[in-house]
Amino acid sequence: MTRLALWSLMKGLQAVRNNVIHAVLMYADGTDAPIFELRSRSRGYTKAQVFETEELTNYAAHAALVLRHELGDKEPAGAPGPLPARPQIPVFLKKLILGHD
């Protein structure tokens, strides 16, 4: 994974994270499905969409640890294991990540 790929992946995950943290929890019309709505960006994610990013979030965290180790971490806690296979990028997230239109 290149630095640009990791950077764009992290930006996409950051958008989901910020949306959930700063969102208003709403319920869709006539359903019990909660939606995390960020009114300032006119963007909302369902609970299912947020949980879809879990594997990708774990992968990105592992990739960041590997990158940090390769760059010469000043306080290493040991060498991280090899990167696992990259999980699929959720469809809703592809538009937020460079190179995944």
pLDDT at 101: 52
Beta strands in the chain (DSSP E): 24-27, 34-38, 43-46
pLDDT tens digits, 23-62? 888 887 777 888 888 888 778 888 888 889 899 888 888 8
Cβ–Cβ < 8 Å for 12, 5: no
pTM of this prediction exceeds 0.85: no
DSSP letter, residue 46: E
pLDDT tens digits, 61-96? 888 888 888 888 877 778 888 888 888 888 888 887
DSSP letter, residue 89: P
- CA-based radius of gyration for the chain: 16
